[in-house]
Amino acid sequence: MRRRTRSAPSVGILGVGYMGIATALAFAARGRTVFAHDINPKVRASLRRGRSPYDEPGLAQLLRREVRLGRFRVLDTVDELAQRAECIFLCVPTPARRDGAVDLGPLRTAVNALGRAIRAARGYRVVVVKSTVVPGTTDEVVEPLLRRASGKSTAALSVAVNPEFLSEGRMVEDAMRPARIVVGARDPRARQRLRRVYAGFPAPVLELTPSGAELVKHGSNEFLALKVSYANELARWSEQLGTDVDTVVEAIGADPRIGTAFLRAGPGFGGSCFDKDLRAFARRGESLGVAPRIPGTVLAVNRDQTAHAVELIRSAVPSLRGRTVAVLGLAFKAGTDDVRETRALPIVERLVADGARVRVHDPSAVENFRALWERTGRTGAVQFSRSVGNALADADLAVVQVDWPVYRRWKPAWSRRMRSPIVVDLRRGIDGRLAARAGLTVLALGRGSAVGPGPGGRPRGRERR
């Protein structure tokens, strides 16, 4: 006689941003029935039509498939979500306040609304905090608020933490095939339900307390940001010593205790996580009497690296005033249209302040950057280009801020369109042999034969390939 296998619990996603949509579709692709709700009606309408509001590799195709198969369904109310989903993931934003602490306003609003909806729901529910919060938030804020709003006892409602470890530009891959699944829960029933939800995912499930799981998330982000900043400091060493930062970090990363992941120098990290999470982690540590030093140091290195990138750009021409500069790449990294904390913004701001005429291009993030730039109040100071060729027309200088594949395949015709075929490559994506064939002079961050600082502390004698 065959044993009946229990079907996986239905999944609810509250908040369908970058992280929420990737999480939802990964569950749907594994055969779960997924219900999703977002406060933004435009997002709901787009998702219902199978159109992704976000540009991520593989996301649009996966969304269309799961909508067609009926495994991903968009709901108009939180009440419907609470009724139909047995395991509900909170994927709402946790933005930074001006003082660096986390703004829990959106999370509190979502928890209150969900709690009131669960009050009328029948059966056992597990609410899972997937939003990034500082350690202690679920125990001290989320669970008490949820229990007050729902009126549910521990017999009918459990609360757990399940942090995300998604990297933009590969969110679908990371959600479908995570390296590990971290679960923070005290209730054995919640742990069991999450194991069933994640059944079939090729990853170990690591079980901790809620605060322990929250600490894993923040500790991971701090360490990754530290690796990026360490590579950026090595880039400055490499420029002064006339070596190549990529060969240096490759040799360092060959040590299995270190590894090469995130040892990649550039103009500084951006994105929605590192800056915000480091500040929040530091504030939380201070409140606990830990007095953390690493977050502040990493953030200072990141600021210095962006300033260093600007100095490298300035060193390429006698003066930026009146020059036409094309900035190629506006997202915070390749593979995404996300411009949150992109280094393109401070770089463009400083070029404009130096009197340059700036043109910008990105294969995916132009409109998002346009909206970001307009919020600075400097409308008209930047020209947005639809093609690389238009951005480079009569340019005195080009800056590669993101190593999109299209820029790595530099065309000789692009060099001919420029007034001066000089590129400052902040990601070292343009191959030296290709540059030679294209008649291009490239100054690459992290590569050089600098023999000492020139006037004003600027590097001098950099390698031009």
Q: Could you read off the pLDDT tens digit of each residue along the chain, which spans 465 residues?
A: 444 446 789 999 999 999 999 999 999 999 999 999 999 999 999 999 999 999 899 999 999 999 999 999 999 999 999 999 999 999 999 999 999 999 999 999 999 999 999 999 999 999 999 999 999 999 999 999 999 999 999 999 999 999 999 998 899 999 999 999 999 999 999 999 999 999 999 999 999 999 999 999 999 999 999 999 999 999 999 999 999 999 999 999 999 999 999 999 999 999 989 999 999 999 999 999 998 999 999 999 999 999 999 999 999 999 999 999 999 999 999 999 999 999 999 999 999 999 999 999 999 999 999 999 999 888 788 999 999 999 999 999 999 999 999 999 999 999 999 999 999 999 999 999 999 999 999 999 999 742 222 333 333 344 433
Helix and strand counts by DSSP (H, E) for the chain: 19, 16
Other beta carbons within 10 angstroms of residue 391's beta carbon come to 25
Q: In this predicted structure, what is the pLDDT of residue 333?
A: 94
Give the DSSP H/E element, type plus range, for residue 362. none
**Residue 48 contacts residue 66 (beta carbons within 8 Å):** no
Rounded to 10 degrees, the C-alpha dihedral 144/146/150/151 comes to -10
The whole-angstrom separation of Cα 224 and Cα 433 is 32
Residue 156 lies in a domain: yes
Phi then psi dihedrals of residue 172, to 5 deg: -65, -50
188, 337: one domain: no
Q: Which residue type is seen at 353?
A: A
Q: Kind of pairing, strands 157-161 and 125-129?
A: parallel
203, 332: one domain: no
Angle at 197 between CA 199 and CA 144, to 5 degrees: 145
**Residue 80 contacts residue 74 (beta carbons within 8 Å):** no
328, 197: one domain: no
187, 324: one domain: no
Where a domain ends, among 208, 234, 265? 208
**Residue 338 contacts residue 304 (beta carbons within 8 Å):** no
Distance set, CA 6 to CA 2, 68, 145 (Å) = 12, 25, 32
Other beta carbons within 10 angstroms of residue 171's beta carbon come to 25
Where a domain ends, among 208, 225, 252? 208
CATH code of 393's domain = 3.40.50.720
Q: Kind of pairing, strands 324-328 and 397-400?
A: parallel
Q: Give exposure, 444-463, as e/b (b: 16+ Cβ within 10 Å).
A: bbbbbebeeeeeeeebeebb
Residue 181 lies in a domain: yes
The whole-angstrom separation of Cα 107 and Cα 89 is 12
Q: Which residue type is seen at 179?
A: A
Q: In this predicted structure, what is the pLDDT of residue 6?
A: 63
The whole-angstrom separation of Cα 451 and Cα 50 is 56
Catalytic residues: 273
The number of folded domains in the chain is 2
DSSP, residue by residue, 105-154: HHHHHHHHHHHHHHHT--S-EEEEE-S---TTHIIIIIHHHHHHHH---T
204, 320: one domain: no
The domain of 402 spans 316-445
200, 60: one domain: yes
Burial label for 6, CB within 10 Å (0-12, 13-18, 19+), is: exposed
Q: Which residue type is seen at 216?
A: V
Residue 233 lies in a domain: no
Q: 272, 269, 279: which is closest to 18 by C-alpha?
A: 272
Residue 464 lies in a domain: no
The whole-angstrom separation of Cα 25 and Cα 7 is 18
The whole-angstrom separation of Cα 12 and Cα 90 is 9
Residue 259 lies in a domain: no
Q: In this predicted structure, what is the pLDDT of residue 8?
A: 83
Residue given tokens 């500082």 in the structure block: 134
Residue 424 lies in a domain: yes
Helix (H, G, I), strand (E, B) or coil at 183: strand
pTM over 0.85: yes
199, 339: one domain: no
Residue 451 lies in a domain: no
Return the axis-axis angle of helices 294-315 and 210-241, rounded to nearest 10°: 30
Tokens of 181: 């699944």
Where a domain ends, among 191, 208, 225? 208
The whole-angstrom separation of Cα 317 and Cα 296 is 33
Residue 3 lies in a domain: no
